[in-house]
Amino acid sequence: MRNVTGEQLAQVDNPDPFASPVWRSPVYRTPEFIIWLVQLARLIWRVIWFVLRHPLVDAAAGLVTVIWLKARWPGVVALAAVVLAGLVLLRAWRPVWFTRLVSGPVRCRWRWWYYRRHWQSVMTITRLAPAYRGRVIVPVLGKVTVTGCTDRVMVALVSGQSPADFAARADGLAHGFRAYLCRVRSSAPGSVMLELVRRDALADPMPALPIPEVTDLRALPVGKREDGTLFTVRLQGTHLLIAGATGAGKGSYLWGLVRALLPAMAAGLVSVWACDPKLMELAFGRGLFDAYGRYAADPADIAALLEDAVAQMQARARRFAGRQRDHSPTEQEPFIVILVDEIAFLTTYQADRKLRERILAALATLTTQGRAVGYCVVAALQDPRKEVLNIRNLFPDKIALRLDEPSQVDMVLGDGARDRGAFCDQISSDPATGAGVAYVRLEAAPDPVRVRAAFVSDDDIRDMTASYAPGFPSGLAALPAGEAL
């Protein structure tokens, strides 16, 4: 059997005369000059595209060229000296501008180049680069935003991928890019954001933050976020649930909120009603609550306080009916913050069933009807199970500190919170490194954020009471501050 030869069609040579013929695909050879023309056109197009996209670089290159042609090396050196002096002056005069215009873009570009170098290998090894029709398709590296401690990397997904694929390989991504932690954030359809933590900004305890000059009920400073920025808590128009094991640092958030509210409390715009059934936390600064609100520790007194709050809330709602839908604090109609420490003792572990039902009914009424008329409930508890606090879903905003079990994370922050990076069960029990560290999930943002509250010490509480409530006792000085760390 004679083989057909040639470049257009050729049969595979097979010594078996009975085998079916197998034919190679046709081969077409492109002339070499056409290949050179195509590559030259690509090069020209890329140069034109670079020039159009980087006008500042073009202007700088043109200026250097002109100076070189006019003055040679002395002119270039003088230009470099002027530019360097201008950058130094900008850094000293307007450091925010310097960061936004110079150092920030440079750092972002440098980190983008770093990720670009390792991108294909990490994507391939972590099996995030699927093969399709014999080709390996790698997700596209997008914009890189650098903060003090984290990098936010935008990624364009391959068709058929989902953020869950990246979340399942977050550990591999963190180690591949030499980061401590990698969190996967949802972004626009077809893309995802990787939050890579390069340095732990929450490793060291923070001292108490300065008392603000003006209280903003939508942004009360209480600590620091993982990216190094200020962590603020909103109380107006919402309710807040703080959950954490014993010694996790719930008191830091309670006293941090009180500290941020002090200017408005002194102005008569905010009133704080404190419920302190264990007599070990809020009693230390009781003078503040006696001066600018109310205080109760006995369960019966707490039930009466909460029922009074319900009655006043409903009376305010009747006054507002048909006139306004939102509440703005005034001296006549102040914003009411109800602090409840150890809420589980009042709603579940209270021996008196009737008293327990009164407290639970009052709390349910406040959390369902109080937001629009200027009432906010801030509650702290240790056990987040539904049978312990069956109204936990009535708290739109939640803070989860150290928890004992992985399943408790989703109980507090909602389904899927742990898969999104809220590892509350892995927070250290060492007070120096883990007290006050928490994950926050807000009503408007489904992704949890790692934060740490500033430590309000016993001396800070005494100073607060002496400065803002000098005519009232500062509390039981013999009692420790409990979980204020």
- What would the pLDDT profile of 434-461 be if each residue is shown by its tens digit? 889 999 987 667 778 889 999 998 899 9
Q: Are residues 456 and 331 in the same domain?
A: yes
Closest CA to 417 of 386, 439, 395: 439
Residue 291 tokens, joined: 């001066």
Q: Which residue has the tokens 């159009």?
A: 52
**Is 256 part of a structural domain of the chain?**
yes
Tell me the two tokens of residue 126: 């972590």
- Residue 87 neighbours by CB distance under 10 Å: 14
CATH value at residue 436: 3.40.50.300
Q: Tell me whether residue 418 is exposed, middle or buried, using C-beta atoms within 10 angstroms of its C-beta: 0 to 12, 13 to 18, 19 or more.
A: buried
User: In 208-238, which positions are buried (b, 16+ CB within 10 angstroms) versus exposed (e)?
Assistant: bbebbeebebeebbbbbbbbeeebebbbbeb
Contact criterion met (CB below 8 Å) for 310 and 360? no
| Phi, psi for residue 283 in degrees, rounded to 5 | -65, -20
Q: How far is CA 320 from CA 1, 325, 331, in A?
A: 100, 7, 16
Q: Which residues of the chain have pLDDT under 70?
A: 1-14, 16, 19-27, 443-444, 471-485
Tell me, yes or no, whether 191 and 230 share the same domain: no
Dihedral angle at the C-alpha atoms of 7, 11, 14, 19, nearest 10 degrees?
170
What phi and psi values does residue 236 have, to the nearest 5 degrees?
A: -70, 125
CATH code assigned at 123:
3.30.980
Three-state SS at 192: strand
Residue 363 CA to its chain's centroid (Å): 29
Tell me if 17 is assigned to some domain: no
Q: pLDDT digit string (tens) for 215-229?
A: 999 999 999 988 888
Residue 365: the pLDDT is 94
Do 246 and 180 share a structural domain?
no
Residues 325 and 427 grouped into a single domain: yes
What confidence score (pLDDT) does residue 4 get? 44
Q: Are residues 275 and 389 in the same domain?
A: yes
Residue 257 in any domain: the answer is: yes
My answer on whether 185 and 241 are in the same domain is no
The answer to whether position 160 is within a domain reads yes
State whether the Cα torsion 162-163-168-172 is positive or negative.
Answer: positive
In a domain, 52, yes or no: no
Residues in the chain: 485
User: Are 189 and 253 within one domain?
Assistant: no
- Based on the structure, what is the number of domains in the chain? 2
Look up the pTM and report it: 0.75
In a domain, 77, yes or no: no
Range of the domain at 120: 103-199
